[in-house]
Amino acid sequence: MTTALDLLIRGGEVLLPDGLHRVDLGLAEGRVAGLYAPGTAPEAAERIDAAGLTALPGIVDIHFHVRAPAYPERGTVQSETRAAAAGGVTTLFEMPISKPCCSTPGELARRRDHFAGNAVIDFALYAAPGDLTETSRDAMTEIGCIAWKIFTTAPPPGRGDEFDGLAFPDEADQMRALQLLAATGLPVVVHAESAPLLAHFAQAAAALDPADAATHGASRPAICEAVAVARLLTMNMTAGAKLHIAHVTSAETVAVLRAFAGTSDFTAETCPQYLFATEADVARAGVYAKVNPPIRTQADQDALWQAIADGIIDYVTTDHAPFALAEKRAAEGDFPAAPPGVPGIEFILPAMLDAVAAGRLSLKRAHDLICANGARRYGLYPFKGALLPGSAADVTLVDLAGETSLSPETMHSHAREVAHLFAGRRLRGRVRRTILRGHTVFLDGSVTGRPGGGAFVTPRAAC
Ligand SMILES: [Zn+2]
């Protein structure tokens, strides 16, 4: 290549698809221009000395909630994409829960425009299948939804409009949705908990102490998840959708995934809250650590790590879900009433780097779990998820020997005051700089990206 580079990242290591290499990374016009043996790169307008640092493909989080433009008091596209940039994330996939639900072409287009004007990093949007018609499905596909999302649960009380066209507790509707969406070739992500079993256990848990963290677990035990997953995987043997099971939490569900291996095109994810916390942490953090499905036992956590080691679970996502301090605080001591969700976008990469430092998995496997595998599953690879010539110039520079200590003072999420589950942890590994399509959006504690700098990512983006 003879053209000059916009930016040269030199002196560090770069994570390539086959592992770490000591090469210099050249960026031009928003793409990776080339990889060069140290000292052999062409002229560059700007240089970054990355000695001692490791360049990763910018993280792609395929499970994220900000809910905007609804509920700005919980966090906005600006605040939560700034937090994402600080966490080394360059692309996020926003789930369709909003008010109203993102289950119509009009709402999808409205959200696209809202995010485009505010996002600091790249974003993709899920759609819910809404009225389950081909007309609506095709219109949302045309707009460029990245994938589909459904729940097998009933809408939470009082939140019907947020789940309209998203929640399908009826099994026949689940089958119709899988069959309708299979034809698009886009992933169908399912929040899987059995609605009848949830109703059954909620009744039993109503007699328990609402302040006890164990009450939440008892109201949604692992069997609810495992049964729903087994039914979906059985249906998918006929429906043939590109199925993806969201946030797996339990040993029972891992056993189901193992038993169904190879029966259809399905994948599964878990989240840092299930890999790095147990019900003991929920007891400590209280309703601030309430999530659905619940955080479970050490044995469940062990089963999830084993599933990752065995390739049964190949994705780790944040399920980032910010809430206002007032909302969580108002429900202190009342697990059934507390809103479910934790803000994890600034935790996921340092947490996985800490697991690498602990010898739990390789850096390449950790990165595959939180980035490259998602980019592949959603058809964006190697435009996203890799640093190969032609890939997006999305780079996260990390200091593997550094340390991250999350607290309300250091976090950027609007929900930092409710991040009790992750705050105070000291993690080995630190995000130093985040680069989005060649532009630095985060540097040493400060977000430098501008609102509107992020682009709408569709399944066609890889072309
Ligand atoms: Zn979620």
Q: What is the pLDDT of residues 21-62, one digit of tens each?
A: 999 999 999 999 999 999 999 999 999 999 999 999 999 999
pLDDT in tens, 252-298: 999 999 999 999 999 999 999 999 999 999 999 999 999 999 999 99
pTM: 0.98
What is the rounded CA–CA span in Å between residue 230 and residue 300? 18
Return the closest-CA partner of residue 97 out of 66, 130, 61, 141: 66
- Asked if residues 360 and 302 have their Cβ atoms less than 8 Å apart, the reply is no
What's the pLDDT at 219? 97
Domain limits of the chain?
5-55+391-447, 58-377
pLDDT in tens, 389-398: 999 999 999 9
**How much distance in Å is there from the Cα of 154 to the middle of ligand 1?**
15
- CA–CA distances in Å: residue 11 to residues 232, 306, 386: 49, 36, 19
**How much distance in Å is there from the Cα of 341 to the middle of ligand 1?**
8
What is the rounded CA–CA span in Å between residue 354 and residue 337? 34
**How much distance in Å is there from the Cα of 320 to the middle of ligand 1?**
7
**How much distance in Å is there from the Cα of 319 to the middle of ligand 1?**
5
- Work out the average pLDDT over 249-253: 98
Return the closest-CA partner of residue 436 out of 46, 59, 10: 59
Which homologous superfamily does the CATH classification assign to the domain defined by 58-377? Metal-dependent hydrolases (3.20.20.140)
Q: Do domains 5-55+391-447 and 58-377 have the same CATH topology?
A: no
**How much distance in Å is there from the Cα of 65 to the middle of ligand 1?**
6
Q: Are strands 315-316 and 266-270 parallel, antiparallel or unpaired?
A: parallel
What is the rounded CA–CA span in Å between residue 355 and residue 369? 12
Return the closest-CA partner of residue 250 out of 321, 318, 306, 170: 306
- Work out the average pLDDT over 205-234: 97
**How much distance in Å is there from the Cα of 461 to the middle of ligand 1?**
24
**How much distance in Å is there from the Cα of 24 to the middle of ligand 1?**
37
- Work out the average pLDDT over 99-111: 98
- Work out the average pLDDT over 137-161: 97
Element (H, E) at 136: helix 134-143
pLDDT in tens, 373-424: 999 999 999 999 999 999 999 999 999 999 999 999 999 999 999 999 998 9
**How much distance in Å is there from the Cα of 64 to the middle of ligand 1?**
6
**How much distance in Å is there from the Cα of 2 to the middle of ligand 1?**
46
- Asked if residues 380 and 386 have their Cβ atoms less than 8 Å apart, the reply is no
**How much distance in Å is there from the Cα of 307 to the middle of ligand 1?**
20
What's the pLDDT at 2? 52
Q: Which residues are found with C-beta within 5 Å of the ion, ligand 1?
A: 319
What is the rounded CA–CA span in Å between residue 296 and residue 318? 17
Neighbour order of strands in the sheet with 89-94: 59-64, 89-94, 122-127, 147-151, 187-191, 242-245, 266-270, 315-316
Q: Is 49 helix (H, G, I), strand (E, B) or coil?
A: strand
Identify the CATH assignment for 5-55+391-447 out of 2.20.25.90, 2.30.40.10, 3.30.70.270, 3.90.110.10: 2.30.40.10
**How much distance in Å is there from the Cα of 442 to the middle of ligand 1?**
25
**How much distance in Å is there from the Cα of 108 to the middle of ligand 1?**
18
- Asked if residues 230 and 253 have their Cβ atoms less than 8 Å apart, the reply is no
- CA end-to-end distance (rounded Å), the chain: 22
